[in-house]
A and B are shown apart, each in its own frame.
Chain A
Amino acid sequence: MNAALTRDEQPLPSPAVFVQPPAPRPATEGLYRMDVRVLIVDDEEPFRRSLAEQLARPGFEVATAPDGRQAVEQVRQRDFDVVLLDVLMPGLDGVQTLEQIKRLRPLTEVIFLTGHAGLESAVEALEKGAFDYVMKPASPDDLLLRIKSACETRQLNQHLGQAR
């Protein structure tokens, strides 16, 4: 997303066109209004389930996948807003999965959610386009805020794409 933005860089608007810019989306308000579709990818079933329950509570539409291959398949079929992705999984690893998801759906934001504290893999994931990299255990509030932020970024990118 950033590469696109920097290419499209413009000077700040003059007051004349600055009369009614869309107001910044308020914090949690927007989260409830949004129809958020989330995909959870993790090889540990109990974790998938409990996180899915947690995210269904604020009204998210939640799907899960046990590995990278099935995650990519689901992304092919549906346009998710946010994918929560583990780093270490059998088969496709997290970064490979990220790359395939981004190829299919450039606007879908990917947040890594993992127990793996590896500086290299974290920075690599961000370089390859991950929106965020969160270490387990993450507080539910913190996770919600990050998902919200990812959704807003996606929405903005969508609008930018349409306005172009």
Chain B
Amino acid sequence: MLGLIRRLFARASERRALTFQARYRHFKALLEANGNVLEIMADISDKLVDPECFSIGDVRIRSTRLFVEAFKIVRHMRAIAPDDGEHLAERFAALRQKASQLLAGSDGSSDAAHILEMNQINLGQTRLVGNKMAGLGEMRAVLDIPVPAGFAITARLDEDLRRQAHLQDEINKITTSLNYEDYAAVQEASHAIQSMVLATPLPDQVEARILAAYDRLREQVGGDLRLAVRSSAIGEGDPRCSFAGLYYTALNVRRQNLIDACYEVLVSKYLPRSIMYLRMNGLRDEDMPMCIGCIAMVDSRVSGTLFTNDPSAGPDTPRMVVQAVSGLGLTLADGRVSPERYTVAREPEGRILRYERGNQHVVLRPRPGDDVAEEPMPDRQDGAPSLREDELAQLVAHALKIERHFGGPQDIEWAIDDDGRVWILQTRPLLISCPLNLRPQTPELLDLCDRYPTLAEAGDCASPGAGIGPVAVVRSVRELKDFPDGGVLVARHAMPELTQVLHKASAVVTEIGGTTGHLAIMAREYKVPCLMNLPGAMSFEPGTEVTVDATARRIYAGRVVELEPLTRRIAQAHPLVGTPVHRILKGIAELVVPLNLTDPKARGFRAANCMTLHDISRFAHETALNRMFALSEQGGRSDAHVHRLIFPVPLCVYVIDAGQGLVEDSPSGEITPAHIASVPFQALIRGMTTDGVRWAGHVPIGLRGFMSVFANTVADPNRWERDLGDRSYAIVSRHYLNFSSRLGYHFSTLDAHVSDAAHGNYVSFTFKGGAADSTCRERRATFIARVLSERGFWVDQKADVVKARIRRIDRDTALDQLDMCGRLMGAARQVDVTMTSATLIDHYVERFMAGDYSLGLATQDG
């Protein structure tokens, strides 16, 4: 009987011990998750202000990690403090939903039709049919402008396709882990994604619907219908990011090739240049659903572009620029030929102000079957203009109408067929150069530059400004991977593939190419100076430094210092601020970073008031500590098993023993260092109480002294009075220590295990924040990081968060490190408000390493 009772009692006590173990595990895991949340949060704040390039993948990874860790906080809170845990779970659910919405983006077309005919389209359908097709439909419907017949395949096709078989997830998986700096990796990713898309079948019946639309159009147009199948992405054509020439266009497509052509347009979103462009512009794959325009082919005698303003002359110029090539216009857009160039008056419409001959060696024409072919250009006897004045007048008349209707300068694509009919194929806003780049061509400046040897003085300015750098000749796409940062890109043709390295180029020079082609548009977008049609450029010596003055159409040997102020860093010229990805990151940061629950003693410090993940983390941390130590809300009395440590450091330390951490006959209530049996805690206390380590104010002895410090520091302007109200907590066992202290706004955790078995030993130290401004805080964090790193810790610092750890060290080394951490905590405590200059960091590190733990600071005696 007695035995049974004893066994039952033993069972009960074992169970209670286990329950404590479980609780303690939750507590420890909560602290860990909390540390992770703070670290990722610091990283997100960093990314917001740092102009460093980041992709949607980076945002996704950080948000996911953040919510995973925050979920764990809530999970452990439910075990430690169920009532508060439930409230936190509700708050978390609300934040999670908002974050998911932010990350998911648009999903507008799921019920929309797959096909829209041209006469059903106007600007209102931009979200469905893309900018290009919406513009065409609008011109036809509202302006009565001659636009070829056709139909649009809506964004729904792309979205349905990406929903098939987790395609979007698989694509995101690849782009998320992609190293965009590695050209080969980008190409590999591009291939992988393209093959995945190609292997994904179109959703049910969509193929039949596309072919039916083709059949209807053939009936309407009559004869042998051939199509131009073109990309029409949503957002494409925005003057800030034009997407010029990134995507594929299939020409002369018949019924049997139509589906293939659609796929080719769809996968062109994943060409290396498109992948890079999305990233540079902070766009996600999902932001750019691809729509497809299917337009009846115009067999053009002559085709080209029209800019309603002269882009090299700036806004408000009273003239338009028309560029023309024989045959199909693709050779012009691709920069393979130099077009004829007409500068024409707006009034009277189309009067030629200036004509420059082109240099066209090939003509692109439809082949009898399908596809198109290049033919040699037939010799033209006289170099006479291929456009007549009446044709130019028609073009200008259309252009004026379009410009008025769309409200702003336009970049228009046109074609004139064999019967002399004028067709408009596209219009999009024209990016006019930033006036900053358009300095007046002062004779003084040119005179100054005359001192330098001129390599060339010719060509057309495709994008104004000046750039200085080494010549980097690119002969093939393969050579792009070696393109150097800040190089002057020199190429024979203005190939669209060159856009992939524009962000690295200080200037661009091509022997052939039109100033209205894709590369020119992109160069203006990236604000990279660009000179085209410069004969002999390919013979520049690779590697030699040159100065390209695109505005003056001159290239100098060497560095022209007078032009340096006109060169600009490309990164600044193309910030990610305001892009969709930045907007999403900012939205996430708003859900995460702000801290509203700052004062645990305030009435509003409640779970239901947590507005951000930071609030959740702060509240959970405070509450978990209180519950673990079973302290009353007023913070005065502790339960019997919680001990208050009285030692000559002005910290309010509560100790809980998790097993042989205190000597056997320790009193309940107040204890002294003599009662500590925990090996790591002994070492930490030794460090904290080392001679010369100055905590704020007088070092008090006993409670009386403690109170005197309190009195002293109340008058201190540096907010230290707040610190003293906070508590520090130590959970100890014989070989283990978890010490967390929150001093006003700063917060540190020391976690250590020290025994004779070196492989199990570790010391890990986390530090965050401070009462001073963010620069001082960061400097203090750097000071701490530097000391720990010098002492052999593995250290990771993000803004004002430092995480450091060292593992597998023998017992004596571990104790030595803990001792040092104690000294460092004392030394670091006083420095953040004094960190007025970055040079002080070195100084403090030096003093600390030399054993001067007051860091040479005047005493803070008040």
Contacts and interface: CB of A to CB of B under 8 A. Distances in A.
A47 B103 CA distance: 28
A12 B60 contact: no
B373 interface: no
Nearest to B85: A6
Interface string B534-556: 00000000000000000000000
Q: How large is the interface on A (under 10, 10 to 19, 20 to 34, 35 or more residues)?
A: 35 or more
A46 interface: no
Given A17-B17, A116-B172, A160-B18, A29 B64 contact: no
A28 B16 CA distance: 26
Contacts of B733: 23-24
Contact of A119 (B96, B657, B658, B735): B96
Given A18-B641, A119-B67, A6 B17 contact: no
Interface stretch (B114-122, B697-705, B757-765): B757-765
Nearest to B16: A13
Given A21-B659, A23-B734, A137-B177, A123 B68 contact: yes
Given A6-B78, A23-B736, A88-B169, A13 B17 contact: yes
Contact of A163 (B15, B63, B641, B759): B15
A1 to B, nearest CB: 9
B20 A13 contact: yes
Given A26-B735, A115-B177, A123-B71, A159 B18 contact: yes
Contact of A2 (B16, B63, B79): B79
Interface string B12-25: 11111111111111
Contacts of B100: 119-120
A22 B21 contact: yes
B301 to A, nearest CB: 52
A119 B101 CA distance: 10
B779 interface: no
Nearest to B764: A27
Contacts of A32: 759
B518 interface: no
A20 interface: yes
A149 interface: yes
Contacts of B604: none
B659 A2 contact: no
A110 B629 CA distance: 31
Interface in A41-97: 88
A93 to B, nearest CB: 8
Contacts of A140: none
Given A21-B21, A163-B18, A12 B79 contact: no
Interface string A100-125: 00000000000000011111101100
A81 to B, nearest CB: 16
Interface string A1-23: 01001101110111101101111
A147 B660 CA distance: 27
A26 B15 contact: no
Nearest to A23: B659
A2 B30 CA distance: 13
B630 interface: yes
Contacts of A21: 17, 20-21, 658-659
A28 B17 contact: no
Interface string A125-147: 01100001101110000000000
A23 B78 CA distance: 24
B68 A149 contact: no
B430 interface: no
Nearest to B103: A119
A17 B20 CA distance: 11
B21 A24 contact: yes
B294 to A, nearest CB: 34
Contacts of A160: 15, 18-19, 22
Nearest to B668: A15
Most chain B CB inside 10 Å of its own CB: which residue of A12, A133, A164? A12
Interface in B636-691: 639-641, 657-660, 668
Interface in B739-755: 753, 755
B104 to A, nearest CB: 8
Nearest to A93: B166
B735 A117 contact: no
B75 interface: yes
* Secondary structure dominating the interface of B: helix
Given A115-B177, A117-B57, A156 B18 contact: yes
B249 interface: no
A30 B15 CA distance: 22
Given A18-B641, A29-B759, A88-B166, A5 B22 contact: yes
A12 B57 contact: no
B24 A2 contact: no
Nearest to A145: B32
Contact of A23 (B67, B641, B658, B668): B658
Nearest to A149: B29
Contacts of A118: 60, 64, 169, 172
Contacts of A122: 64, 67-68
A22 B17 contact: yes
A21 B28 CA distance: 16
B760 A29 contact: yes
Contact of B19 (A8, A28, A133): A8
A126 B68 CA distance: 8
A42 B112 CA distance: 37
B715 interface: no
B759 A9 contact: no
Interface in B1-18: 11-18
B753 A27 contact: yes
Contacts of B64: 117-119, 122, 133, 135
Contact of A10 (B19, B28, B641): B19
Contacts of A137: 177
Contact of A27 (B63, B177, B762): B762
Given A6-B78, A17-B17, A26 B60 contact: no
B386 interface: no
Contact of B71 (A5, A126, A149): A126
Contacts of A159: 18
A133 B659 contact: no
B219 interface: no
A156 B21 contact: yes
A6 B61 contact: no
A22 B761 CA distance: 19
Nearest to B13: A17
A24 to B, nearest CB: 6
Nearest to B664: A19
Interface of B: 11-26, 28-29, 57, 60-61, 63-65, 67-68, 71-72, 75-76, 78-79, 82, 96, 99-100, 103, 166, 169-170, 172-173, 176-177, 630, 639-641, 657-660, 668, 733-736, 753, 755, 757, 759-760, 762, 807-808
20 contacts: A2-B76, A6-B82, A12-B641, A14-B640, A15-B641, A15-B668, A21-B17, A22-B17, A23-B658, A24-B21, A26-B760, A88-B170, A116-B169, A118-B169, A119-B99, A122-B68, A123-B68, A160-B15, A163-B14, A164-B15
Top 10 A-B pairs, shortest CB-CB distance: A29-B760, A21-B17, A117-B60, A17-B13, A13-B16, A23-B659, A163-B15, A115-B173, A26-B760, A117-B61
Interface of A: 2, 5-6, 8-10, 12-15, 17-18, 20-24, 26-30, 32, 88, 115-120, 122-123, 126-127, 132-133, 135-137, 149, 152-153, 156, 159-160, 163-164
Given A160-B18, A160-B19, 15 more contacts: A2-B76, A6-B82, A13-B16, A14-B641, A24-B25, A24-B658, A24-B733, A28-B760, A28-B808, A29-B753, A30-B760, A88-B169, A119-B63, A126-B68, A156-B21
